[in-house]
Structure 1
Amino acid sequence: MAQCVPPTNSAQECELRTSEIPTQQFITTKLSVDEILNKYVGEYGVWQWSIVLLIVISSPLMVTLPVFVNAVPDHRCRMEDPIEEIFKEYNLSFEEAAAFVGPWEGEIPVTMMGCLKFALDWSNTTLIENLLLNKSVVSFIDRESLKTKACVNGYVYRSKEFQYPSTVVAEFNLVCDKSMLSPLGTSLFMVGMLFGFIFGGYFGDKFGRRNGAIVFSIIELLAAVGVSLAPNHHIYHLMRTIVGFSSTGKAVPLRLLPIELTNAKYRSYFTSFIVLGIVFGHRAIMTGIAYLVREWRLLNALSTLPCLTCFIYFCLLPESPRWLLSQYRVEEAITILRRGCRINHILKKDKSKLSQFDNYLKDVNKNQSHMGKLYVHGEPISVSERFINLLKSTKKITCCRQMNKALIICVLIFTMHSLAFLGITLFSKYINYNVYIVTLINALTGIPGPIAASVVYRCYKYRRFPLMCTYIISAILLCIGGVYTVLWEPLTDNVLNIFCNGALIMYSASTIMLSIYCAELFPSYMRSSAVGISNGLGRIGGIISTLVNYTDFAFKHGTPVLIYSGSSMLQAFLLYCLRDTSGEDLSDVDKGLESATDDHVHQNGSNKSIDAGREEFVINLKTLEDRIKSSPTTVTNL
C-alpha cells in the first residue's frame, strides 16, 4: 500500500507503513453485494430458494389457532350429580335441561344465557322429578318471578353445529363472568406481537439475522409446548403471549434475510412465496389437522411441529452478507457468498463462477494497494476547509433526521395498514357455515394479492407508485361500498362484502409491497430495527380497529368502511412524502453518514479526501499511530 509521509526533510525517518492499517472498512465499501450476486453467486438459485423454503416450513401461523380453540359453545349450569342423573333418566335434550335449570332463550339477554339457575331446592330430588313429570305444573310456573343465582358447580357444554368440539373456553370455563378473558387473551397475543416486532428488529440488527432468528425460534418452541401443557387459563394466556412475541420476533429477521440475499428484481418473488406459504399453506394445514384431530392441545402441538425445524438453522441458515458488511466483518461475508456461489452452481456445467469470484476478490484486494499517498500535516487546515468540514458534519446530522423522518412515516403507514386490513377482516359478515370450509376459503383469498405483487414488482422498476395505486384502489372500493350501504341501507350486505373483499385482495398485495419497500428505505445496519419498529408499533392500528368497528352501532351501518377508506387515502399521501426506491444497490451502510474529513490529513497533490467507494475514510496522525501500534504487521488475506 502507499506510504504516509509527513512533509519534513527527514522523510525517510518518519515514513510509516499504512499497509499495516486494517483495511476492512475500505474493502467493505468496495464490495458490491448486488454485483457479486448478479455476476457470480446468482440471484435466485438453489441457495436462495432452499433458504426461503426452510423459512416457510419453520414458520407456522399460530395466530389462527383461536379460530378453532376460542369458539364459545352453548352452556348451562351444571347441577348436583343426582339431578344430572335424573336428566339422563328422563332423556332430556340439552335445550330442555337448560330451560329447566334456568332462564333460557327469550327470557334473558344472549350474553347471560346459561349463566344462571333458578333458586329452587335442588337437593329435593322428589320435587325435581315431580316438576319433570307434571308438565302442566311447569307450564304454569311464573318463570320470570323466580329468583336466580349464579352457577356454583361449573357448566355443561355443547358444541354448536360446525364448531370445533374442543375449546379452551369449555376447559377453563371462560364464560359468563369470565367471558372477557378469551378476547383478552387474543389482545395479549397482539401485544406480544407488537413487542416481538420491536425486539426482533433490534436483535436482528444487534446480533445478526441468523442469531436473532435462532433465539426467537427456540423461545417460540418452548412457549408452544407450554400452551399444550397449560393447566389453567393464566398459564395458557401467558404462553400464548410469549408465542406471539417470539413468532414476530423471529419473523422480522427471517423476512429480511431473503431480501438481502438477492437483488431488486427477485425480492418480490421470495417475499410473495413466503407469505403464500405461511398465510395459505400453514393455515390450510392447520384446517386439515383440526378436521382430523378434535382435541385442542393436540391440535396446538401438531400445528407447532414445524417449529422443530429451527434446529436446522444452526446448519443451513446463513447470516446476511449485507449485515456482515455493515459490521465490517468482510471475511465472513465473503465466506457466505462463496458458499452460496458453490451451491447455486453445483448442478450446472459451468464451474468457473467460483474461480471468477475469487479473481474479483483479488482485484478488490489489489486495488486498495494503489491508493494515493497520504501526507499527515502537523499544521491545521484553512478556515475555508474547516467550514467545509462543518457542512459535512451538518449533512451527517441531517441524514440522521431523514432516517428518523422515514421511520416515523413508516410507523404511521403500518398503523393505517393494520387498522384497515384487520378492521375490514373483523367487519366482514359472519358466515354460519362449516368452520373448516370457512377457514379454508379465507386462506384462499390470500392467494391473488401476493401473486399480483410479485408480478408488478418484477415488471415495474420502482416501488412507491404501485404501492400507492393499491391503496388508492382500496380507498375507492371501500368508499363505493360504504357510501352505498350508508345512503341506500340495503337489506343484505352482498354489495358491501364484494367491495370489502376486493379491498382485502389489494391489501394482501400491499402487504408484500410495503414489506419490500420499507426494508429498502434503510441501510443494513438499521434495517431490521426499522422494519421491526414499524411493524410493531403499527399493530396499534389493529387494536384501534375494534373500536372503529363499534361506530357501526353508534352511527349508520357501513360507517367503519368509510373510515377505512379514508385511512387508505392517508396511506397513499404518506407514501408520497417518502423517497422512491428501486431496490438496486441496496445500501449496507448509510451513504449520508460519511466520516468527517480530519483537519490534519490531505491526499498527495490535492486537498481532496480519499474516495473509498461510497464513503470517505481519512485518518489523523494520532489515529494512524495508534492503529499501527495495535494492528498486525500484515493485512488479512481475504
Structure 2
Amino acid sequence: MKDYEDSVAFLGQWGRFQQVVFFLLCSSIFPNGFTFSVVFLTDAPRHHCLVPEVNLTQDWHNASIPIEVVNGNQQLSRCSRFRLDVVRNLSAQGLVPGRDVNLTDLEQEGCVDGWSYSRDVYQSTIVSEFDLVCGEQWKQPFTTTVFLLGVLVGSFFSGQLSDRFGRKPVFFCTMAVQTIFSFFQIFSTSWIVFTILGFISGIGQISNYVSAFVLGNEILTGNVRVLFSSLGVCLGYAFGYMMLPLLAYFFRGWKSLLLAISLPGLLYIPLWWFIPESPRWLLSQGRVEEAENIVRKAAKWNKVDAPLVIFEDYGVHVDETKTNPKEQHNVFNLVKTKNIRNTTFILCLLWLTLSMGYYGLSLNTSRLHANPYISCFLSAAVEVPAYTSSWLALRYFPRRLSVVSTLLVGGLSLYFLQLVPESLSELAVALEMLGKFAMTAGFTLMYAYTAELYPTVLRNTATGTCSAVSKVGSSIAPFLSQLSGDFEYLPYVVMGTLAVVSAFAALFLPETLGRPLPQTIQQMHKRQSLKCPFITRRGHSNPQVLLQSRL
C-alpha cells in the first residue's frame, strides 16, 4: 500500500487548504484554556463566622471572633466564634473585652449563623455561594476532581468513538457538550447540581481537544504537522489560559465568569463547513471515494492539479477486503501483543506522571503570589516558552531523548525546592516555574510522540486512552497539597520521584523521528524496539546503537 503522505505530496505542505485547517483547529482549542477556571470558581475568599446584628457594643462585636495563629501569622478564626449568648451578657454588663474579661477563658461555638465572606478579591465563588468551608471544605478540591474525572471519561470514550464514527462529528459534538453544560452550571441551585454539570462539561472539555489534535495530525504532513502538534494547538490553549485571569479579573462573580467562558463556544458552529473529515481515517474505513473528494477539494484550494487516481493502491486494498469481515479495532488492541502492550504501559506511566505534575503545579498558583490573577497569569505565561521548546525539540531532536530530558529537569527542580530557604522566596517560585515549564513541555511532547507510535486504526483510541490514564493523575492533583502535613514539600517529592522513574522507563520506547506515521498494526510491529538504546543484549555499551539513537 502506498504511503498516504506520498499520495498527497502534490498538495504541498503549506497551501491555502493546510493554512485554513491549521488556524481553524488551533483557534478551536482556545476555550480549552479555560480549564483552570476552577482556580477562581472554587477559591475560598477570606471568611469568618457571621455575627448577627444583636445588642453588642462595637468592642464586643469586633472581639467575638477568636484570633488564631496560622503559619506564624495571626488571623480571625474561620470556623469558630465565642458563644453569642455569653458575649451578649458580658456586653450588657458593660465589661470591656481584653481588660475586664480574658477572652481565652470564653467558650467557643461553630458558625451556627453562617459565614461572612470578604469581597476584596471576588464578588462570589461557589465556596461563598454554597458555604464550602470548615466541615464542608473537602468539597473544594473534590469539585475539581469530579470535573477532571469527567475529563477522564471523555478522554477514554471519545477516542474510541472517534475511531469508530470519525474525527469530525466527535469533535463538534464534544465541543457542544462543553459549551452547553458550562452554561447550564450558571443555574445550579446546589453544590451537587454544579458538580454533576461540571462532570458532564469535563467529558467534552478534553474530548474535542484530542479530536482536533488527531484531526490536524492526520490532515497535515511533514514539518507543518510537527508545528501544529507541538506549537499550534498548544499556543491556542496557552492563549486561552492567559486570557482566563483577565476575564476573571473583570467578571468577579462565579456566574458571570461561567457565562464569559461558555459563550465563545457558539462562535465555532460555522467551522463545520470549513473543517473536513480526516482522509486518513476515511481510507482506514475503506471510504476511498470520500477521501479523494476531500483531497481534490484541497487541490483546488491550493491551485494545483490532482492525479486522475489519487489512492489507487487503497482502492485495490479495499477490493481485496470486501469478501472478508472488516476488523474492528478497540482499546483491547492496545494490549493485544507483547510489544504494543509494553509501549502502552510505558506511555500510560509517562502520561500519568506528567499530568499529575502539570495539574498539581497549575492548581497551586494561589501560593505563588498574593494576587490570584497574577499567579494564574504567571502559570499560564510560562507555558509559551515550554510549547516553543517542545516544538524545537520535536523538529531537531529525537523524541525519546526529549521526553527523558524534560522529565529529569522537572523532577530535579521539584526536589531542589525543599533546599531553598524561606528568605529566598523568589528562587522557590523560579524553581516551581521551571518544574511547570518542564512538565508542560513533556506533556506536549507526549501528544505528538503517542500519535507517531500508533497506526491510523488505533491512533485516536491510543491517544484518548493515554489521555484518560493521565486524568487519573490530574484527578489526584487537587488533593496533593493535603499531603504536606508535617512536611511541606512532600507533594513536590512525590511528583519529582515519579518524574525520575518515568524518565528511566522512557528509555525503552521506540524512536519515531523522521519516520512516516504507521497506517496498520503490522507497520507498528515493524517499528517496535522495546529495549534500552544504550545497552546491547550482553549488557555492554554499544556506541553504534548510541549514535543511531541520536540521529
Give the TM-score, by structure 1 length. 0.71
C-alpha root-mean-square deviation of aligned residues, in Å?
3.5
Are 2:34 and 1:34 equivalent residues in the alignment? no
Contact (CA 8 Å) 1:58, 1:308: kept in 2 or not?
no
Q: Name the counterpart of 1:55.
A: 25
Are 2:189 and 1:189 equivalent residues in the alignment? no
Measured after TM superposition, the shift of residue 531 of structure 1 is 0.8
Q: Percent identity?
A: 22
Q: Name the counterpart of 2:108.
A: 148
Q: Name the counterpart of 2:376.
A: 439
Q: Distance in 2 between matches of 1:179 and 1:547?
A: 12
Q: Name the counterpart of 1:564.
A: 495
Q: Deviations over 1:458-490 (max 9, x none)?
A: 234x422222232233344445x25744xxx66
Q: Deviations over 1:277-310 (max 9, x none)?
A: 212x112222222222232211111112221134
The 1:536/1:580 distance shift into structure 2, 3 A limit, reads same
Q: Name the counterpart of 2:118.
A: 158
What are the equivalent positions in structure 2 for 1:10-89 lying under 5 Å apart?
A: 29-30=1-2, 32-37=3-8, 39-59=9-29, 60=31, 61-80=33-52, 82-83=53-54
Q: Name the counterpart of 1:532.
A: 464
Q: Name the counterpart of 2:232.
A: 273
Unaligned 5+ runs, structure 2: 321-332, 526-551
Which sits farther off after the overlay, 248-257 or 260-269? 260-269
Q: Deviations over 1:208-227 (max 9, x none)?
A: 11111122112112211111
Q: Deviations over 1:135-168 (max 9, x none)?
A: 63674224333333333433222135xx233211
Q: Distance in 1 between matches of 2:493 and 2:69?
A: 35
Secondary structure in 2 aligned to 1:151? coil
Are 2:152 and 1:167 equivalent residues in the alignment? no
Q: Deviations over 1:45-71 (max 9, x none)?
A: 332333333334333123211222222
Q: Name the counterpart of 1:635.
A: none
Contact (CA 8 Å) 1:189, 1:244: kept in 2 or not?
yes
Q: Which amino acid aligns with 1:510?
A: G
Contact (CA 8 Å) 2:399, 2:513: kept in 1 or not?
yes
Q: Which amino acid aligns with 2:83?
A: A
Contact (CA 8 Å) 2:357, 2:436: kept in 1 or not?
no
The 1:196/1:141 distance shift into structure 2, 3 A limit, reads same
Which of residues 359, 378, 382 in structure 1 aligns to 2:308? 359
The 1:484/1:264 distance shift into structure 2, 3 A limit, reads farther
The 1:525/1:269 distance shift into structure 2, 3 A limit, reads same
Aligned residues: 508
Secondary structure in 2 aligned to 1:319? coil
Contact (CA 8 Å) 2:356, 2:477: kept in 1 or not?
yes
Which of residues 386, 392, 398 in structure 2 aligns to 1:455? 392
Q: Deviations over 1:348-386 (max 9, x none)?
A: xxx3x2x3x233538x379969x99xxxxxxxxxxxxxx
The 1:434/1:368 distance shift into structure 2, 3 A limit, reads closer
Q: Name the counterpart of 1:631.
A: none
Q: Which amino acid aligns with 1:451?
A: T
Secondary structure in 2 aligned to 1:156? strand
What are the equivalent positions in structure 2 for 1:364-375 lying under 5 Å apart?
A: 364=312
Are 2:32 and 1:101 equivalent residues in the alignment? no
Contact (CA 8 Å) 2:14, 2:224: kept in 1 or not?
yes
Q: Which amino acid aligns with 2:451?
A: A
Q: Which amino acid aligns with 1:154?
A: G
Q: Which amino acid aligns with 2:34?
A: M
Are 2:135 and 1:177 equivalent residues in the alignment? yes
Q: Name the counterpart of 2:282.
A: 324
Give the TM-score, by structure 2 length. 0.82
What are the equivalent positions in structure 2 for 1:81-480 lying under 5 Å apart?
A: 82-83=53-54, 99-106=62-69, 113-121=77-85, 130=92, 134=94, 136=96, 139-160=99-120, 163-271=121-229, 272-279=231-238, 281-343=239-301, 345=302, 351=303, 353=304, 355=305, 357-361=306-310, 364=312, 400-425=337-362, 430-460=367-397, 462-479=398-415
The 1:421/1:398 distance shift into structure 2, 3 A limit, reads closer
Secondary structure in 2 aligned to 1:294? coil
Secondary structure in 2 aligned to 1:76? strand
The 1:465/1:532 distance shift into structure 2, 3 A limit, reads same
Contact (CA 8 Å) 2:152, 2:469: kept in 1 or not?
yes
Query: Max radius of gyration: which structure?
Result: 1
The 1:137/1:398 distance shift into structure 2, 3 A limit, reads closer
Secondary structure in 2 aligned to 1:227? helix
Q: Distance in 2 between matches of 1:191 and 1:399?
A: 26
Measured after TM superposition, the shift of residue 581 of structure 1 is 0.8
Measured after TM superposition, the shift of residue 315 of structure 1 is 1.6
Q: Which amino acid aligns with 2:349?
A: L
Q: Which amino acid aligns with 1:404?
A: R
Contact (CA 8 Å) 2:145, 2:476: kept in 1 or not?
no
Contact (CA 8 Å) 2:366, 2:372: kept in 1 or not?
no
Q: Name the counterpart of 2:546.
A: none
Q: Which amino acid aligns with 1:523?
A: P
Contact (CA 8 Å) 1:410, 1:518: kept in 2 or not?
yes
Secondary structure in 1 aligned to 2:188? coil
Contact (CA 8 Å) 2:400, 2:511: kept in 1 or not?
yes
Which sits farther off after the overlay, 58-67 or 256-265? 58-67
